[in-house]
Structure formats: structure tokens, C-alpha cells
């Protein structure tokens, strides 16, 4: 849903859904890229507050957005990432790519 | 499909289920929920439940997008067979899709044949990390079978000992 996407200054905030799988990921990537291009945001913030499930498709979403914005000096952030999501990011070697933000 | 069925010894099997569903992405969530419900009587910890759900999600997603090329045809089928031997869960995910020439290569972390679909290449790595054992059988043009094992919760062990 579009209310889960918000642009604040140079940051695109995305409220991730409860279940981040391949089915959901396709839509998230598409919407996020639309905002990145049309609003010309430099950074992306993924909010995992609602997320109770994620698989490697979610890793693909983060990596894909990182590739799109990092060449312009942008960064990706994760907020409200629980231990489970942190473990997935660590296993995928994303700890140097995603900045974990404590709330 | 690769014939991997040997003569089965049912003496140790305490529960079994077989599912067949269309290779469409909506069924990724369905498969996860089905396996969660199947192991619920074993009182899995939240961690174990997440581990199994993630592994199943990876295997089923692979079948749908790689096995059947993400074409979303309802006539393409994925089978998920689950079995319990006491507290040991076996999950088998079977597709009759394109199969793989080189299974070992596919299992390397970060390897993906579909970078344009933003696949992270972590599917098999997650299955290996979250399950106790992983076996993959594949044959080009015939399909792929992924078989995974995991021991579930002390709760289940106590129940089966009674």
C-alpha cells in the first residue's frame, strides 16, 4: 500500500509488511523504485516494526535498492529489526551494507 | 521428478502429510502456514518455527520461480511432503520444472541465475543454516527435489516419550 511509503527530506521510509517473501517483494521493489526515481531520494529506510517473517527475498529487496542508490552515495538503513531479521542480514553478509538503527 | 523414493519403513513414522499446489507465488505463504500447522503439536519454539518457515519458503520459492520460471501457471504443480518420526521433521519439496545441471553450483551462497529478478542467491544457504540437514536431487528437464530435516522442540520429545 502506498501509505507505507513516505518521503522525508532525502529519505524514503518503507514500512515493511508482516510477511516479506517473494510474493510481497516484487511489489515492494517496484513501488520503492518508483519513489526513488520520481522523488529523487538518496537514501532508503526499511522499517521492520510489523515484520514477523522474512526470507531471502527480503534480502534481495534490500540489496536491489542498495545497488540503485549507492552509486550516488546513498545508504540503506534498517529500523526495528528484531533478532531474527538481524540474523538473516548477517548470514547474507549485509552487515556492512545496511546500517541498523536503534530506536 | 527424480525417483528418490526407496522402500519406506513406516514403523518410525508418527505423522505424514502430502500437499500439491499450483506453482503461483500466493502459495508460498500457504506452504509456510501448512508446515507450521503440521508441526504445531510438537510445541516448537518460536525460533524453530521461524527456521522451518524460512527454509520451506526458500524451497517453495525456488520451485516456483526457478523450477517453473516464474510463469505463474496453475497447471504447474509443487508438491510438499512432510513426515514426522517422533520429533524429527522431514520436508520434501518437489517440482517437475527445468531442473539443474549443477546442483553444487546452485548451492553456493550468492550464486543466482536470476540477478535481474533481484534474487539474493541465499536460498540454499538459508535452508542449510536453518535446518539440520539438506539434500538436493535435480535433473535437467525433469525437476528438482529438496529434502530437509530438523529436530523439533523438547516439548514434542517429552510427549512422544510418554
Tell me the mean pLDDT in the region A1-9.
90
Tell me the domains of chain B and their CATH numbers. Answer: 20-157 (3.30.565.10)
* Cα separation, B100 vs B138, whole angstroms: 6
Q: What percent of chain B has pLDDT over 90?
A: 79
How sure is the predictor about B5, in pLDDT bands with cuts at 50, 70 and 90? low
From chain B residues 48-107, the ones with a CB under 8 A of any chain A CB are 50, 53-54, 57-58, 61, 64-65
**What is the value of ipTM here, to two decimals?**
0.92
pLDDT at B1: 53
Q: Which residues 8-47 on chain B approach chain A with CB closer than 8 angstroms? A: 25-26, 28-29, 32
Chain B closest-CA separation from residue A32 CA (Å) = 13
Length, in residues, of chain A: 103
Q: Which of B25, B58, B121 minimises the CB distance to A55?
A: B58
Q: What DSSP letter does each residue of A29-98 carry, written as one string? A: HHHHHHHHHHS--SEEEEE-TT--EE-HHHHHHHHHHHHHHHTTT--EEEES--HHHHHHHHHTT-TTTE
For chain A, list the domains and their CATH numbers. 2-101 (3.30.750.24)
Mutation to test the A interface, candidates B68, B122, B125, most A Cβ within 10 Å: B122
Please tell me the predicted confidence (pLDDT) of residue B124. Answer: 96
Of the pLDDT bands very low, low, confident and very high (cuts 50, 70, 90), residue B156 is: very low
What is this structure's pTM?
A: 0.91
Per-residue pLDDT tens digits for B18-57: 999 999 999 999 999 999 999 999 999 999 999 999 999 9
Decide: B152 and B39 in contact? Cβ < 8 Å.
yes
State the average pLDDT over residues A18-36.
95
Give residues with Cβ within 8 angstroms of B151, minimum separation 6. Answer: B87, B88, B89, B132
pLDDT at A7 over 90: yes
Q: In angstroms, what is the C-alpha Rg of chain A?
A: 12
Strands B143-151 and B133-139, bridge-based pairing: antiparallel
User: Is residue B162 scored above 50 in pLDDT?
Assistant: no
pLDDT digits (tens, 9 = 90+) for A41-81: 999 999 999 999 999 999 999 999 999 999 889 999 999 99
Amino acid at each position: 500500500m502506498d501509505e507505507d511509503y513516505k518521503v522525508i527530506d532525502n529519505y524514503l521510509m518503507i514500512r515493511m509488511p508482516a510477511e516479506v517473501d517473494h510474493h510481497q517483494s516484487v511489489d515492494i521493489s517496484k513501488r520503492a523504485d518508483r519513489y526513488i526515481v520520481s522523488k529523487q531520494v538518496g537514501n532508503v529506510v526499511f522499517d521492520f516494526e510489523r515484520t514477523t517473517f522474512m526470507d531471502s527475498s527480503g534480502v534481495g529487496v534490500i540489496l536491489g535498492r542498495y545497488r540503485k542508490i549507492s552509486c550516488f552515495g546513498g545508504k540503506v538503513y534498517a529500523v526495528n529489526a528484531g533478532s531474527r531479521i538481524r540474523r538473516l542480514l548477517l548470514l547474507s553478509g549485509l552487515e556492512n551494507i545496511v546500517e541498523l538503527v536503534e530506536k | 521428478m527424480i525417483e528418490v523414493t526407496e522402500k519406506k519403513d513406516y514403523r518410525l513414522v508418527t505423522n505424514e502429510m502430502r500437499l500439491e499446489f499450483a506453482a503461483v507465488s500466493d502459495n508460498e505463504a500457504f506452504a509456510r502456514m501448512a508446515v507450521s500447522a503440521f508441526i504445531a503439536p510438537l510445541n516448537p519454539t518460536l525460533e524453530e518455527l521461524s527456521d522451518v518457515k524460512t527454509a520451506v519458503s526458500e524451497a517453495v520459492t525456488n520451485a516456483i520461480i526457478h523450477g517453473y520460471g516464474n510463469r505463474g501457471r496453475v497447471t504447474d504443480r509443487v508438491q510438499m511432503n512432510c513426515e514426522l518420526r517422533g520429533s524429527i521433521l522431514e520436508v520434501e519439496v518437489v517440482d517437475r520444472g527445468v531442473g539443474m545441471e549443477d546442483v553444487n553450483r546452485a548451492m553456493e551462497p550468492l550464486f543466482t541465475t536470476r540477478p535481474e529478478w533481484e534474487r539474493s542467491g541465499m536460498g540454499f544457504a538459508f535452508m542449510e543454516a536453518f535446518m539440520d540437514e539438506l539434500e538436493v536431487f535435480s535433473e535437467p528437464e525433469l525437476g528438482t527435489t529438496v529434502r530437509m530435516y530438523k529436530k523439533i522442540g523438547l516439548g514434542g520429545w517429552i510427549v512422544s516419550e510418554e
